[in-house]
Amino acid sequence: MRQLTTQCGGKGKTTTFLLDDTQIKQDSFLEDVNGLLNSGEIPNLFNTEQKIELLELVRHLAKNRGKSIESLKKLYNFFVENCSSDLHCVICASPIGDAFR
């Protein structure tokens, strides 16, 4: 998920994330996808060092798009906006069985 959100939010690449119901091994997988769909981010996905690297990548993307953002909070908000607009989530569920219900 780190790699996926970095690709979308940090590099500006439009991506579709396909999740099949057979791949959902823990309920936390759906909680992470829910976080992406609701807010554009997964809480506590990046540690402090990774977040600093990510924000430098986002700063470069913002400059390429003609935006000058210096505040770390605004940079992170720019990252979240990019994730919301460039990441498309698709969940496939089989109607057969109790898991779908």
CA distances for 51 relative to 20, 36, 55, angstroms: 29, 17, 6
Pick the CATH number of 2-92 from 3.40.50.300, 3.40.1210.10, 3.40.50.720, 3.30.70.420: 3.40.50.300
Mean pLDDT value of segment 82-90: 91
Q: Mean per-residue pLDDT for 68-97? A: 87
Q: What is the pLDDT of residue 91?
A: 87
pLDDT tens digits for 41-82? 888 899 999 999 999 999 999 988 888 888 899 999 999 999
The average confidence (pLDDT) of the chain is 88
Write down the H helix ranges in 40-71. 48-64
